[in-house]
Amino acid sequence: MLNIAILGSGKGSNAQAIIEAIAARTLDARIVCVISDVADAFLLERARQHGLPALHVDCAPFKTKLDGAAEQRVIEILRAYQADVIVLAGFMRIIKAGLLGAYAGRIINIHPALLPAFPGLASWQQALDYGVKVAGCTVHFVDAGTDTGPIIVQRAVPVLDGDTPATLHARIQVEEHEAYPAALRLIASGKLRLAGRRVLAS
């Protein structure tokens, strides 16, 4: 069974989608721990409601990255809970070399755009500003770049006349909640295998 660790900073709606997929037995995995850099993140409350280990890691003095003692603490937690794959679910910090090295090829993220288009922040706003007709979301492996890792799953969302950033983002989030479990199913089923520090496509 695939051991999943979730890192997040906010409400945890993607984490909830993964929890529900496991409960529905459409994903053969278990969540071994949930970690947040925000002490009162609702993500942690979701974890507690489902009886999952919910841990806060204080990332001070850094404001935008996971580094230093906090990074080492996260690595210690992941090893203690024997995580196979690390799922970033709204984790609002830059992942640095220590964690990337310790879990190379085993960290995945979801981004609200059809990468490689519109990396970075507020990608739904970028899509509207650019005038595209199709937006979406991408589950990808995390590397040292900004949303540059290998793509696992993508879901498309049409951009409708009259869309606002809020309405487009909301529809993208609906697809995110399908895409993340789908990507994890590929890993859990062996169609996309995690082998030590390498990712091997079967």
Indicate which residue of 111, 140, 169, 177 is catalytic. Answer: 111
Whether residue 50 lies in the annotated active site = no
Interatomic CA distance for residues 97 and 189, integer angstroms: 29
Q: Is 42 exposed, middle or buried (0-12, 13-18, 19+ CB in 10 A)?
A: middle
Residue type, 117: A
Q: Is the peptide bond before 116 cis (omega within 30 degrees of 0)?
A: yes
Nearest to 108 by CA among 202, 179, 36: 179
DSSP label of 159: P
Residues marked active site are found at 111
